[in-house]
Amino acid sequence: MPTSLQRVATTVRPHLRWVFASMVCVLVLGACSGDSTGPGDAPNQSPTASFTFTCTDLTCSFDGAASSDSDGTVASYAWTFGDGTSAAGATATHAYAAAGSFDVVLTVTDNGGASGSTSRQVNPTAAAAGPLGSTILGEAVNDQFGRALAISDDGTRIVAGAPTNSGNLNQSGHVRVFEWSGTSWDQLGADFDGGSAGQLIGEENTIAISGDGNRIAIGRHRANGNGGTVQVYEYVGSGWNQVGSTISGNTGRQLGYSVALSTTGDRVAVGVPNAGTVGNAEGAVRVYALSGGAWSQLGTDIMGEAPGDRSGVSVDLSGGGDRVAVGAQGNDGAGSGAGQVRVHAWSGSAWVQVGQDMDGNGNGSNELFGMAVSISRDGTRVAGWGAQSGDYAKVFELVAGTWVQMGPDFSVPAAFNLHMPISLSADGSRIAIGRPFAGTNTNGTLTLYDWTGSAWIQAGMEIMGDQPTDNLGWAVALSADGHTVATGLRGYPQGGLRGAVRVYTVP
């Protein structure tokens, strides 16, 4: 039975019949093209998604060119990378924050609106940290070289301690400075030796370096009848000259138990953990500024909260030296010996506490949180660690005047506890954590983590000691940008306790 359009087409003039035939095609067949949806068409076929990929370290490149559509064209490409991020386009490149396995999904849509998807798993791997030069060895067996470390902003100068070195007197200890020449680590100047037997200079927390590496500070808390001293030195020409006079403490107070320098080296913070009422060891921190070639104390002592706190066992300064982080491992605020970290700011006339106390977890006796501290260049991020019942470290950020913990605790099993040094990059977005007793044979590990804005994720591969009892990670120090890290190996080589320092570059 002819349709009305067909009847019309047969009655019009012959030269107009092609017009009506075209109208029939348009109206009845819905346009004569691929992926047509008219009543005379077959159903639109969904496109087929397909892609290839390559990964280099944490960066993966994806290509969806193999996708196709049997009855039309692929109009759009949508990618999800399995880590909460997405992209559009026929090709895409994505840098993962950490190694792992991720399901990548490509969804393609054709010009008729139909879609198809496919999924493939990618396994990006973190780039390995590369050694910068050879291992720097301690001078002699039993030196325990590498128990303390500090590094310049650009990572080209390091200062390291060997507290049981006996080159001068029995276990007087010494400190050495090294500079990267471009091909090797070369000692810069002479040794700094302890002045008496058993002085043990170069212990944990007792050395510091300025941003440019031209100044160092050395604490000798056992000198002068355990009164302690601190000296600051500057590299001039081919040797180290003392800057200002020696800072000294009263008998038994242990001044110099910890030290820190500002970026310029014009301010030095000094821990005095036995300060306070005789026998009570509240502890204190003193900050000195260089003026006219002499060290003058800024304000009064920053005292510990209560007897037995031993405030000042650890200390660190912000870049300008106007904020100081203080560890008080014996504080009982959150439980017996739970420990505490506080930050104080210089008002121009006094040291004023910033935010609230940052206490240990209080999950067991003698957690000793605050045995080490590290503060960012601007003084708004601070890290501390505790060493009992399984080591743990915490990082806090100052938000509207309150210290807010950034992510969960970093921890290590109780079997590997007793030591967990930490170091923050200048902006506080990267932290290096040593676990010197980790591993089957206490080889030790060093791990770096980056802050994503909501979580800490591992940066690069974990660095491990290569021999039993190396204790790699005994001390750690990060350059300002966080891409150079120095670590101490107290037990290297196996059974010798000579000690060593290794420096790595990290992506």
Does residue 179 surpass a pLDDT of 80?
yes
What pTM value is reported for the model? 0.82
| Two structure tokens written together for 210 | 């300025």
Mean pLDDT of the chain: 91
- Cβ 161 vs Cβ 172: under 8 Å: no
- Cβ 51 vs Cβ 106: under 8 Å: yes
- Cβ 67 vs Cβ 106: under 8 Å: yes
How far is Cα 318 from Cα 212, in angstroms, rounded to an integer?
Answer: 15
pLDDT of residue 229: 98
Element (H, E) at 343: strand 340-346
**Other C-beta atoms within 10 Å of 445: how many?**
21
pLDDT of residue 10: 43
Residues 6+ apart with CB under 8 A from 355: 343, 398, 401, 402, 403
Q: What angle do CA 159, 160, 166 make, to 5 degrees?
A: 135
**pLDDT for 337-355, tens place per residue?**
999 999 999 999 999 999 9
Q: What is the CA radius of gyration of the chain?
A: 33
With bands split at pLDDT 50, 70 and 90, how would you rate the model's confidence at 30? very low
With bands split at pLDDT 50, 70 and 90, how would you rate the model's confidence at 416? low
Q: Which domains does the chain have, with CATH numbers?
A: 52-122 (2.60.40.10)
Which of these, 122, 201, 126, 205, lies nearest to 169 by C-alpha position?
201
- In this structure, which long-range contacts are made by residues 347-353, counting pairs with CB atoms below 8 Å and at least 24 apart in sequence? 349/299, 350/299, 350/300, 351/287, 351/298, 351/299, 351/300, 351/302, 351/324
